[in-house]
Structure 1
Amino acid sequence: MSETELTGKYGVLVVEDNPDDEALTLRALRKCGIPVRVTVARDGAEAVEILKGDLHSVGLDSAPRLLLL
């Protein structure tokens, strides 16, 4: 799992196993200028673990507002 890449009010969980696609997604989110806090999971199992666990430990204050698969 990657720590938070961007900072902002709303949480976004990105589930991506390809580093190039992850970089593209993060770049697109930065360009939008929307203040979001991004956490990256490498696969579905890790995403479920994040959602079922302590969200504060991965930089999220609450359940993510957006989940990108």
Structure 2
Amino acid sequence: MKTKMTVNGVSVCPTGEERHEYFTLSLSPRRKKRLCQYDYRHTDGELFSCVAPTLEECRAKRDIWLNNNNK
């Protein structure tokens, strides 16, 4: 999937910042689902990336990741 968030499949998210983009997933001709692609690059350079229905859910997942990795 080509997005505005990547160049050749590599995240362009700067250190210490987040990027998100909504996209629509077609599950069938009549069923579509809107999702949020989220990237956060920690100040140490490590990238966290996830997909969830909302930006708020992505940020909640990021916060869990930060707490579990003692960031």
Q: What TM-score do you get using the length of structure 1 for normalisation?
A: 0.33
Q: Who wins on radius of gyration, i.e. which is larger?
A: 2
Q: What TM-score do you get using the length of structure 2 for normalisation?
A: 0.33
